[in-house]
Each structure stands twice: as C-alpha cells, then as structure tokens.
Amino acid sequence: MLRGLPEGYVARPARAEDAEVLVALFNLDSQRAVGLDTHDVENQSTEWRTPGFDLERDTRVVHAPSGEPVAYAEVWDLDAPHVRLWSWGCVHPKHVGRGIGSTLLAWKDERGREALAQAPVDARVSLRHMVYGNDELPSRLLQAHGYRLIRHFSRMQIELDQPIPEPTHLAGVTVRSFEITTDFEPTVRAVRESFRDHWGYVETPLEGELAVWRHEIAEEKDFDPSLWFLAIDGDKIVAMCLCSLKAPEDADLGYVHTLGVLRSWRRRGVALALLHHAFGEFQRRGKKRVGLGVDAASLTGATRLYERAGMRPIRQSDLYEKELRPGRDLTTQGLKE
C-alpha cells in the first residue's frame, strides 16, 4: 500500500508478465517527450532479470480504478558500496496532476534509504534520476522533492551516408573481435579500469559486475561478439568498443554501448581508430547511422572525440540527484594524477 494515491488507485510490485503492458506505458511517455519508442519488451524483461534486482522490492506499478497501469517506478542498488543509487519512473499523461508522481517519489526515497545501513558509515549516499532533456513536467516534480540538476548527457549520432575513413594503423596495436571463451573477464577488467576516470564512477566488487555481464551476454538474443571490438597490445586489452546492431527506437541505427581506453593509452588515436572500425562495419552491414550516449562534460574529453569522428548531439538527458545522507564522496569527481 502506498500512502497518498488518489481514491481507487492501487500499487503493487511489477511482475514479469507485466512487461508488455508496461513497455507500452513507457513508450507513451517517451513519445510524449522525444517522439520515439525507446523501450522494447525483450530488453525490459532482460533488465528485470539482472542479478541483484528484485521486482518485489525494487519496483512499484500504480493501477487506475479501471485496472489499467498508469505509473511505474524503480530503484537500482545492486552491489556494494551502496552509495550511488539509480531510479526511474513515469506517469501516464492522462493521470498527471493527481499526486501519483509525488507518491512514487516518496516510495523511492524510502526504498533508497534502505541502502544507508549497507553503505560505509562515513559515505555520502545519493539517489539519482535521469529525465529527457528539458522535460519540464518531471523536472519540476523532482526539484519540488529535493532533487537538483547535476549533469547533462548527450545522445550523439552520425549518418553513414559518406565513406568512412580507414582506421589509423597504430604501431603495436591490433584490433579484433571479442572471443567469449578467452576475453570475458579481461574485457570486464579493462572496462572497469578505463572507466575509473569517468565522472560518477564507483568501484564495485568484481564478482557482482561479472555476474551482470554474464547475464547480459546470455540473455541478449541480439548479442553479437563480432561487434565487440578490442584493441590489443601484446596480450593486453588497452581499449574496447562494444556495440550492438540495433536500438529499440531505430532499426537502422547501430549503437555503441561502451567505448573506453586505458589511461596510459589515451591521446594516441586508439579511440578514434576503434570508432572508425565500428562505423565501417555498421556501414558494411547496411546501417544508416550510429549512435551513443556521452557525459556532456566528460572528464576525458569524450565529447570532443566524438565530434572529431563526425558525430553530433541530437538530444539531451538531464541527471537529477537527491542526497540521502551527507558524507565522504566515493564517486569519481575529477581526474587524479
């Protein structure tokens, strides 16, 4: 039972069989905000089965008196040190203004505060929520409930209607596709190492992260190891560009999920070479464009790299945060020498 819902409205945790009807709700929200269906049923079901995520504990669905699901909220807190929690949610446009969003934000606060007992006693704990850029309705609601805007993220894209430059040859470096039998753990370790310099990064136990990666590889029916590109120096992975052949919103778009370079290998052209390698492969496979998401104020200059590669921002997302407890910040805030 959630306190504060309008008369006749009820809430319960999401269930696996809710995926189709809830994805329709999520896409109604994304159509309102950006004019696109950004969710699909298979990806949603896979996400809900992520190790450590519990539908009963971590989600709430609000139903109208008619029985129709009209709002949803979730909180993500999978692993130690439990200091940076993520949340998301939406309300059906026809049911906005009835206090449902405020009620779900109160539930997310309550769920988020469960992490306080698990986090280091002196650590700052926060709850974060991403909204589509300049989406005034959820932005105002978040601010009214103590959230503040802390960061912008960009969706960048390139049209593949021109010849792609051949990747620059880098002395001592080879680029090849991922081999799951030999590259799995080294790739995860390399991603962790490369992202330690990214704003907001939090070190989590390796075993938990490996479990999540195993799940994503095993459950994603469109996982294609030939689109996971690794830059190798000797026997060491020094950079990676991990891609998929499609995104829910655009069947003609290839997507770069992860692009990272180990610190000692930055500013040598490795990332640009990997991007050109990926763009060329997508073009050969008939894709019309490639997209990715990036921190608009990236500490490592990723936005400038993507612009050099010919990508341009097409929309923005805004990250809001609510501090649940002050303390020592365990997240990366700047580059360390």
Axis-axis angle for helices 136-144, 100-112 (nearest 10): 50
In this structure, the answer to whether residues 276 and 128 fall within a common structural domain is no
Per the structure, the complete domain to which residue 193 belongs is given by 156-316
Distance CA 256, CA 245 (A): 9
Radius of gyration of the chain (CA): 21
In this structure, the answer to whether residues 135 and 39 fall within a common structural domain is yes
Give how many domains the chain has, as a whole number.
Answer: 2
In this structure, the answer to whether residues 161 and 310 fall within a common structural domain is yes
In this structure, the answer to whether residues 36 and 123 fall within a common structural domain is yes
pLDDT tens sequence across 247-298: 889 999 999 999 999 999 999 999 999 999 999 999 999 999 999 999 999 9
Of 106, 109, 101, the residue nearest 128 (C-alpha) = 109
Q: Give the model's pLDDT for residue 160.
A: 97
Q: Give the model's pLDDT for residue 334.
A: 83
Q: Give the model's pLDDT for residue 278.
A: 97
In this structure, the answer to whether residues 80 and 174 fall within a common structural domain is no
Question: Is 60 exceeded by the pLDDT of residue 337?
Answer: no
- Asked if 46 contacts 7 with a C-beta cutoff of 8 angstroms, the reply is no
Task: Tell me which of 336 and 257 has the higher pLDDT.
Answer: 257
Query: Residue 126, exposed/middle/buried by CB under 10 A (0-12, 13-18, 19+)?
Result: buried
Look over the chain and give the mean of its residue pLDDT values, rounded to a whole number: 95
Q: How far apart are the first and last CA of the chain?
A: 50
Task: Tell me which of 183 and 171 has the higher pLDDT.
Answer: 183
User: Which residue is listed with tokens 């407890």?
Assistant: 325
- Average pLDDT (303-316) is 96
